[in-house]
């Protein structure tokens, strides 16, 4: 009875102090107290469960919330299942604002691990992750918090206690260190908590509970896309890292692994962009000339030239070379003394310049007009795409993006459903690099240009790095492209028009999202239902048809700023199909309006019937539509009684699922 009176006295004192702070306008957070005790019930420290709370009730949160002093919502999905086990602590009380590592190799074995801390959110696009590394270098997610599962109306502070994810139950591992991944946030790490006993025999499906909780939170926090359980969401942290080529840290996916349809609003992480450069020279010497080539498909067109020194101090503002003519254009780099020149333009007086050059073509004319929507799955009334594939646990998205674009564009180029199933394993195994640890789609296209890519039966995909000598001796076919052109869209005000032009004239593009280190095939666009002036892009992914909208995704970028988020590679036809006796471009007039379709070649081929008019049909499935309005207006020209372009006559915006 005396003990109970003492406890009641302590609770009363804490409540009085809390009310003083509350009415003085300051935050107060009680930590390290058993939940049952805080809520007024009897309890002990063995009953602690994962919880997080904050003082501002208007801020949405994916964890427990303080609604008023002393009232908590418990989250057992993110809690160590404590019964009679002792919870030990490593006291830190240190603040982190960037990626860091914490050694904990003095701890012997752990069967569970959680943490206590305070997170200050500095921006809506934030990320906080804690990852446990064991003595076998296996990685386990202690906890992660990002915008999609914790949307905030303004900057705020979250306090978490005894929270865990994959480390809620472990099989008695030896810890080595903890990695912290902090972006646009600050983490005050109070303590690391762990249980020494082996908890692996406890049968709880916490993974499924945690996934379901996150899906619920994503659904509550936004209404533009559908969240659900996918094959990617079920992967462990380490498996997800492998999927992305084993980077040091898993990118901030913003919930993309849960995507099941709708418009995913991508937030750019400008600090993590890694624009791919084509290195043509290192430490160029006096009076040396280096030449890079860029293939221009149509004019008026120009190119951006990026030059970086060894400290990356040069190149923020690219050199603009305008009015390039169709065909191969040569960009000349020359050094004389302290000065470096690009096509006789002095760009630097840095004597230690290491010349890295990235060439990006752009459309000089910013008055080009495009239809409201374009989709290679419904072009001339036909789906030109090939089936969705699954890269499995290998970081080979770059190969799948490139091969998907080649397969698609083969159909478009020959204007018929060849639907060749090409081998992703061929470039994964035979390019001489670590094929499952990421790569460049541009490199795969170059590989196709130089060596060709064989059919799937010749080298079946196995989602692992297998020897190149397992390639068959006699492939049914091998596909070579003519050339590929890399574009970074860096600071390109016309990047949206450039991409649309490339899609409509050259077919599918391979596109890489910088901060995700992930490549997909870009096949079209639709208008943004919430903001019709901006664009939603349609991507073909390589995560199987259980992910996304049957394997496809619709992405919008902040302010339509495609240039700050992605780069692309364009396939330049013709194609060369080896081991096939005869194959020609099909030219036909399916809708009977005397305007014929001959695929994505610019010039009318000899295979066209004599009744075909000289201009290519913009939609060979609709006899009311003829060619494009002009070389700069890619809307369909209306035939018959209409004189306005079809987009102006039938100006409806499609609904987005």
Task: Kindly write down the DSSP assignment for every residue of 182-237, as one continuous string.
Answer: EESEEEEEEEEEEE-S--TTS---HHHHHHHHHHHHHHHH-SSEEE---TTTTS-H
CATH of domain 31-222: 2.60.120
- Percent pLDDT > 70 in the chain is 68
pLDDT of res. 395: 95
Indicate if the pLDDT at residue 587 is higher than 80: yes
Given a cut of 80, is residue 298 above it in pLDDT?
no
pTM for this predicted structure:
0.78
Contact call for residues 353 and 347 (beta carbons, < 8 A): no
Nearest by Cα to 516 from 315, 232, 310: 232
Q: What is the dihedral of CA 67, 30, 52, 121, to 10 degrees?
A: 90
Asked if the domains 31-222 and 374-576 are classified in one and the same CATH topology, the answer is: no
Residue 150: per-residue pLDDT: 80
Q: Is a pLDDT exceeding 80 seen at residue 304?
A: no
Q: Which two tokens stand for residue 279?
A: 């290195």
Q: Residue 4: pLDDT band by 50, 70, 90 thresholds?
A: low
Of the candidate ranges 208-212, 527-531, 619-623, the one whose mean pLDDT is the lowest: 527-531
Higher pLDDT, 509 or 650: 509
pLDDT at residue 46 tops 50: no
- Contact in structure between 276 and 462 (CB atoms under 8 Å): no
Residue 430, beta-bridge partner list: none
The pLDDT of residue 657 is: 31
Segment 584-591 shows an average pLDDT of: 96
Mean pLDDT of the chain: 78
Q: Where are the alpha helices (DSSP H) in 351-489?
A: 397-414, 425-430, 441-451
Compute the average pLDDT of residues 45-52: 38
Identify the sign of the CA torsion 530, 535, 538, 541: negative
Taking each helix axis from N to C end, the angle separating 397-414 and 441-451, rounded to the nearest 10 degrees, works out to: 50
The CATH number of domain 374-576 is 3.40.50.1820: no
Residues near 259 by beta carbon (within 8 Å), at least 6 away in sequence: 225, 226, 227, 230, 547, 548, 553
Q: What is the pLDDT of residue 335?
A: 59
Asked whether the predicted pLDDT for residue 306 surpasses 90, the reply is no
Beta bridge partners of 189: 94, 117
Which residues does 274 contact at the CB level (< 8 Å), separation at least 6? Answer: 514, 517
Q: Is the pLDDT of residue 202 over 60?
A: yes
The residue with greater pLDDT, 498 or 620, is: 620
Structural domain boundaries of the chain? 31-222, 278-363, 374-576, 584-657
d(CA 72, CA 254): 27
Phi first, then psi: what are they for 139, rounded to 5°? Answer: -120, 140
Tell whether the model's pLDDT for residue 392 goes beyond 80: yes
Region 420-425: mean pLDDT is 98
Q: What angle do CA 514, 377, 615 make, to 5 degrees?
A: 105
* Phi, psi for 74 (deg, rounded to 5): -95, 145
Using CB atoms within 10 Å of the CB of residue 207, give its burial: 0 to 12 exposed, 13 to 18 middle, 19+ buried: middle
Interval 267-281 mean pLDDT: 44
């Amino acid at each position: 009875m005396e003990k109970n009176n003492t406890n009641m006295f302590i609770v009363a004192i804490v409540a009085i102090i809390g009310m003083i702070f509350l009415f003085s306008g300051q935050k107060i957070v009680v930590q390290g107290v058993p939940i049952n005790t805080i809520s007024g019930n009897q309890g002990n420290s063995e009953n602690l469960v994962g919880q997080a709370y904050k003082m501002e009730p208007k801020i949405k949160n994916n964890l427990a919330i303080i609604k008023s002093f002393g009232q908590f919502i418990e989250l057992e999905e993110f809690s160590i299942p404590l019964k009679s086990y002792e919870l030990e602590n490593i006291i830190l009380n240190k603040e982190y604002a960037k990626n860091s590592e914490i050694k904990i190799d003095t701890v012997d074995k752990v069967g569970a691990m959680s943490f206590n801390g305070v997170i200050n959110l500095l921006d809506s696009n934030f990320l906080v992750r804690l990852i446990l590394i064991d003595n076998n270098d296996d990685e386990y997610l202690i906890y992660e918090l990002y915008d999609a599962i914790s949307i905030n109306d303004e900057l705020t502070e979250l306090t978490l206690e005894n929270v865990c994810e994959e480390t809620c139950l472990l099989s008695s591992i030896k810890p080595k260190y903890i990695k912290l991944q902090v972006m646009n946030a600050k983490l005050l790490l109070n303590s690391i908590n762990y249980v020494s006993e082996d908890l692996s025999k406890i049968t709880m499906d916490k993974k499924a509970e945690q996934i379901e909780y996150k899906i619920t939170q994503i659904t509550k926090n936004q209404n533009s896309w559908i969240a659900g359980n996918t094959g990617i969401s079920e992967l462990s942290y380490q498996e997800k890292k492998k999927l992305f080529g084993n980077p040091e840290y898993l990118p901030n996916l913003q919930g993309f692994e849960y995507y099941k349809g709708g418009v995913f609003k991508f937030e750019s992480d400008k600090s993590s962009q890694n624009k791919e450069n084509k290195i043509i020279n290192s430490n160029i010497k006096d009076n040396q000339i280096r030449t890079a080539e860029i293939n221009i498909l149509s004019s008026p067109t120009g190119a951006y030239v990026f030059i970086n020194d060894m400290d990356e101090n040069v190149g923020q503002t690219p050199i603009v070379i305008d009015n390039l003519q169709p065909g191969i254009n040569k960009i000349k780099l020359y050094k004389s003394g302290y000065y470096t020149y690009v096509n006789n333009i002095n760009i630097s007086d840095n004597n230690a310049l290491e010349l890295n050059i990235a060439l990006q073509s752009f459309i000089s004319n910013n008055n080009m007009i495009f239809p409201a929507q374009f989709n290679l799955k419904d072009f001339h009334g036909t789906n030109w795409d090939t089936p969705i594939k699954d890269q499995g646990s290998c970081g080979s998205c770059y190969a799948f993006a490139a091969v998907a674009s080649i397969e698609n564009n083969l159909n478009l180029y020959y204007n018929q459903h060849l639907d060749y199933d090409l081998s992703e394993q061929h470039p994964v195994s035979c390019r001489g690099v670590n094929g499952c640890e990421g790569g460049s789609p541009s490199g795969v296209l170059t590989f196709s240009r130089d060596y060709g890519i064989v059919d799937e039966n010749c080298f079946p995909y196995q989602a692992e790095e297998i020897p190149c000598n397992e390639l068959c001796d006699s492939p049914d076919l091998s596909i070579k492209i003519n050339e590929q052109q890399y574009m970074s869209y860096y600071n390109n005000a016309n990047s949206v028009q450039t991409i649309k032009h490339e899609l409509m004239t050259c077919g599918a593009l391979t596109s890489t999202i910088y901060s995700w280190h992930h490549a997909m095939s870009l096949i079209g666009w639709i208008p943004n239902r919430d903001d019709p002036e901006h664009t939603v892009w349609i991507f073909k992914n390589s995560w199987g048809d259980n992910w996304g909208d049957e394997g496809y995704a619709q992405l919008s970028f902040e302010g339509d700023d495609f240039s700050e988020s992605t780069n692309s590679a364009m396939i330049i036809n013709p194609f060369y199909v080896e081991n096939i006796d005869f194959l020609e471009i099909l030219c036909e007039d399916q809708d009977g309006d005397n305007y014929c379709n001959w695929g994505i070649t610019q010039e009318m081929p000899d295979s066209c019937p004599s009744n075909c008019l000289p201009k290519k049909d913009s939609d060979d499935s609709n006899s009311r539509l003829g060619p494009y309005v002009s070389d700069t207006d890619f809307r369909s020209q209306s035939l018959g009684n209409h004189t306005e372009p079809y987009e102006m006559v039938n100006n409806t915006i499609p609904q987005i699922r």
